Amino acid sequence: MGFIDIDPELQKSDAIANFFSGLIVDQRNIMPKLGLPQILLGKTRSGLDSGALTSSIIGRMKETGIPTGPLADGTPNAIEELVRIMVEEIVDAIQNDMRVDVAVDIGMLVTSTGANAGGPVASTGANIKPHTGVGIAR
């Protein structure tokens, strides 16, 4: 700096960084909430398959210019192996280690039947309509 300083009011690099970061956060996509029918249709999904996922990723490697298949001298393609290992471990962790903590929303409609013997009634009920809940994956 010279013998005339920049006014501290104009030293706003931090504020500029925060402003543009806010812009990027504001513009991010918010995933739409799924409706009940869409959620229930999830039963038809096939589930995670590390092999299929690996093939899918390797199939798109050409978009980045990364070569696929064994190298010219016959050695295995290390990047493909890395992708395969990473996917296997991640899928394995999701399928075997992941836990989803669920809370069911209030307001679930239940019909129940039970006998009255002049005292407290134990009854068995069932929800007549699908109901929503919220789950957090751990």
Instruction: State the residues that interact with other proteins by CB under 8 A.
Output: 1-8, 10-14, 16-17, 19-20, 23-24, 27-29
Rg, Å, the chain Cα set: 28
The smaller minimum CB distance to other proteins, of residues 60 and 134, is found at 60
Structure tokens at 117: 């013997």
The smaller minimum CB distance to other proteins, of residues 8 and 74, is found at 8
Contact 20, 54 (CB under 8 A): no
Q: In angstroms, what is the minimal distance from the CB of 62 to other proteins?
A: 15
Q: In angstroms, what is the minimal distance from the CB of 10 to other proteins?
A: 6
The smaller minimum CB distance to other proteins, of residues 73 and 97, is found at 97
Q: Locate tokens 């290390």: which residue?
A: 78
Q: Could you give the C-alpha distances from 93 to 42, 60, 71, 126, 137, in angstroms and in order?
A: 20, 24, 31, 34, 12
- Please name which of 91, 1, 99, 77 lies closest in space to residue 46, comparing C-alpha atoms: 91
The smaller minimum CB distance to other proteins, of residues 65 and 107, is found at 65
Q: In angstroms, what is the minimal distance from the CB of 11 to other proteins?
A: 5
Q: In angstroms, what is the minimal distance from the CB of 38 to other proteins?
A: 13
Sign of CA dihedral 39, 45, 50, 56: negative
